[in-house]
Structure 1
Amino acid sequence: MIAPIAVGAAALLAGVANAQVTATGTMGSTNPPQATLGTAVNSTSMARLVSLNAIDDFCLFAPPEPNSVIGNTEAEEVAWCVQARNNARQIPDGTFTSVHFVKTPLYWQIQGLGDLTKLNIAANDEGGELDPHGATGLGNPVGGNVTTNATGSDVHYEEWMNYMSYQQFCLRICIAENSTYSAAEMCQHTLDEMGCNWVMPGDYTDNSFTECEGDSAYPPGIYPQANGSTSTFQQRYTGTYTDGAGSVGMWTQGQTVTPQTAYSTPATSNCKTYSTIGNGVAAVATASSGNSTSSGSAKASGASATASASGSNKASGSSGASASGSAAKTAANAASASASGSAKASSAALPAAVGINYGPAVAGAVSVVAALAGAGAFLL
């Protein structure tokens, strides 16, 4: 278990001071009681329960209304699932041109490309980040919950992040922590403008569908240094505040130079390649679907295996798709920031020998902190 340490002001203001692995909160009011396959497909559902179990059994958060901008609707997003599950809306076949699912010791992650306007995201919207925190601490979306069956049964997890744009998505659910990094650090939620490739490095190759095992990446924004220390990136924010005397001042936090990539893209192995994924639904259905899939496996519901291969994953971002989570935020989030350490191109990952702890832990400190309490409202 990670020993209690001083938590940076930015983390405190963002509500992650007491992060843990498994969720202890209640289900959101619009959610079903538990993750369930074979539920009726509801094209107007407001359920907000996302599951990540397999390359053809996962959900994403996206807007309930057509032509919506993610940055304007973060608190309102609903669950969209490949399979008929969780009383959610169903992702139409043909939405994705690539999907890459990786299972690591500390998190399960899925990312890819496609036409996400089919999930009500406005065309050309560079998107934003969904997470269990939000400016009010109620989550973006409010009442959003997540599960995986990484342990063999459906478990609710406390820390997760889901970046969505009109053509790119990525979802990470942190299923464990080790003696160095907490689940909150592995699912760092304050880097909303950096985008999928930077925050969740991995395979973003288009026209490809893979399911792999992999090493865990270093937490987003962590850059190990040659002397054994780490440099921690913090996104730049600016804003105004009013002091007790009524005077208006300006606050800033974060750095002004942005590293171009994450520290590394971890290697993957035991990969299975599929020709496509789907559910047999050409458009969003309004009636119950008979298609379902066994949890944790890619069955005949639409994921067609064509080959298997082991090896390192490909360079993230090779498709040229824009990074989600960049343009739709407020003007207060305008300038991106940087860690003092430069980004390296190595494939280094977290040391494999570090023990995993599935119990509660205290979130790690952020190295550069907000000087004023007013900064908290912008840490989404």
Structure 2
Amino acid sequence: MLALSSALLLASLVNAQAGVISSGPNGPTNPAAPSLDTPVNQTSMSRLVSLNSYDDFCLWGPPVAGDTIGDTEGEQVAWCTKPRNDARVIPDGTITSVHVVKTPNYIQIQGLLDGTKMNIMAGDQGGELDPHGATGEGNPVGGNVTSNVSGADVFYEEWMSFMSVDMFCLRICTAENSTYSAAIMCQHEIDLLGCQWVMPGDYTDDSFTTCDADAAYPPGVYPQPDGSTSTFHQRFTVTGTAPFTIGVTVTPSAAYSIPASSNCVTHTSPSNGLAAIVTAAVSSGVASASGAAITSGTGTGAAASGSGTKAAAGVSSGASATGAAASATGTTASSSAVRGESRVSFSSAMLVLGAMVLGGGALAI
């Protein structure tokens, strides 16, 4: 009966949110569905990211160290806080703050980290990941996201993420309305301004929280005194036989506001108990913590160059977390694309992670 209820719930979601539920294929290196307690595989090329709660989420990270995220956006892989999705596991000590917020339109996670433990280069200002990319196959290629915020595991169509060596953020759009579509709420074209500008909120270090909140205005949208809105478009030039430029030269200092939050819960620092296993997997291919063998070596899977666009996901983005209203206009930019891998078995370790507080101005949508 439980499986039937979940299936009926998912079917109702698909019918009600045809523009929200993913219609594209699952990536070729991904498991067919999200699941917990999969083997720890620190050379995995799985690109299935899940965002469920403060203690159960995944982030994007490089498959190998040595290249910046901005130059290899199409090659990023999933790193998860628990053994899930056949993905890599985020080692203990990587995450230093986590804030999750649930809104009527999206679930979002943001925080700070030591990305060098996830193959991110020291000093890397990061890159922007989304389901579109330069080729339409996604950045990363074959990347998919799920969330069980609705009560069932659902593949969602629209999402956006910034990753750098010290800051991360991920938004999965889980609903839309007559005012803003999921594609607008997870707008992926503002890819140079970073987390604090595109996904404003609480980035306090050594803090772990989860909150309900109003939805923010979409990235780049600024309400005006007369009731209208002004939309900022990032400036870029398309070269070729018929070059053209889109966007404006003046960038607002920050997002319009940080939405009001409620029902906030504070959590303890994250720990999944996998530090010894992960370290052993990387250094020797043997998991001394459990005595089980881990397959080492290079994973396999699709690799494609990303858009090459670099985004400052960290504090160097220059965006204030508490921005005032700003006006910006520009020509609407159309998207150039559409949406489109060691091992140790062990039962799920209980990780306590934190999640996100948002406070300030609100948007009711």
- TM-score, normalising length: structure 2: 0.74
Q: Secondary structure at the match of 1:265?
A: coil
Q: Secondary structure of the equivalent of 2:275?
A: coil
AA at the equivalent of 1:369: T
1:29 and 2:28 correspond: yes
Matched to 1:105, the amino acid is: P
The equivalent residue for 1:368 is 331
What residue ranges of structure 2 are gaps of 5+ in the alignment?
A: 1-17, 291-310, 338-365
Which of 266, 269, 275 is matched with 1:273 structurally? 266
Does the alignment pair 1:139 with 2:128?
Answer: no
- Conservation of the 8 A alpha-carbon contact between 1:75 and 1:139: yes
The aligned counterpart of 1:246 is none
How far, CA to CA, are the matches of 2:212 and 2:336 in structure 1? Answer: 36
3-state SS, counterpart of residue 49 of structure 2: strand
Give yes or no for contact 1:128–1:325 (8 Å, CA) kept in 2.
Answer: no
Tell me how far apart the structure 1 counterparts of residues 51 and 22 of structure 2 sit (CA, whole Å): 15
Structure 1 equivalent of residue 250 of structure 2: 257
On the 8 A contact 2:44/2:88 being kept in 1, the answer is yes
AA partner of residue 126 (structure 2): G
Check conservation: 1:55, 1:277, Cα contact below 8 A: no
- What does the per-residue CA deviation read over 1:187-231, in whole Å, with 9 as the maximum and x for residues that have no partner? 000011010001001111111010111110000000010101110
Q: Deviations over 1:151-202 (max 9, x none)?
A: 1110000000110001000000000001100000000000110100010011
Q: Which residue of 1 aligns with 2:275?
A: 282
Secondary structure at the counterpart of residue 239 of structure 2: strand
| 1:344 aligned to which of 311, 314, 324 | 324
Deviation at 1:345, TM superposition (A): 5.8
Q: What aligned pairs does 1:289-368 form with structure 2 within 5 A after superposition? A: 323-324=312-313, 344=324, 368=331
Structure 2: how far apart are the matches of 1:194 and 1:45?
A: 30
Post-superposition shift, 1:367? 6.0
Instruction: State how far apart, in whole Å, the 1-side matches of 2:207 and 2:94 are.
Output: 13
Contact 1:218 1:263 survives alignment (8 Å): yes
Percent identical among aligned pairs is 62
Corresponding residue of 1:91:
90
Does the residue aligned with 1:163 lie in a helix, a strand or coil? strand
Say if 1:167 and 1:103 are closer, same or farther in 2 by CA, change over 3 A.
same
Match of 2:198 in 1: 199
SS in 2 for 1:178: coil
Change (3 A) 1:344 1:327: closer
Unaligned runs of 5+ in 1: 1-18, 244-249, 291-321, 329-335, 337-342, 347-365
Question: Is contact 1:113-1:168 (8 Å) kept?
Answer: yes
Per the alignment, residue 164 of structure 1 pairs with 163
Given that 1:40 and 1:84 are in contact with CA atoms closer than 8 Å, whether structure 2 keeps it comes out as yes
Q: Which amino acid aligns with 1:46?
A: M
Aligned residues: 288
Note the aligned Cα RMSD (angstroms).
2.7
Q: 1:367 to 1:263 in 2, by over 3 A?
A: same
Alignment match, 2:44: 45
Q: Distance in 2 between the 1:327 and 1:57 partners?
A: 28
Q: Which runs of 4+ in 1 moved over 4 A?
A: 287-290, 325-328
Displacement after TM superposition at 1:376 (Å): 3.8
Partner of 2:71: 72
The Cα of 1:114 is off from its aligned counterpart by: 1.4
Matched position secondary structure for 1:129: strand
| Counterpart residue number, 2:129 | 130
SS of equivalent residue, structure 2 residue 70 = helix
Alpha-carbon distance in 2 for matches of 1:367, 1:143? 32
Residue deviations 1:81-101 (CA, integer Å, cap 9, x gap): 000000000000110111001
Counterpart Cα distance in 2 of 1:376 and 1:27:
21
Q: Is the 8 A contact 2:94 2:114 kept in 1?
A: yes
Q: 1:42 to 1:71 in 2, by over 3 A?
A: same
Query: CA shift at 1:107, angstroms?
Result: 0.3
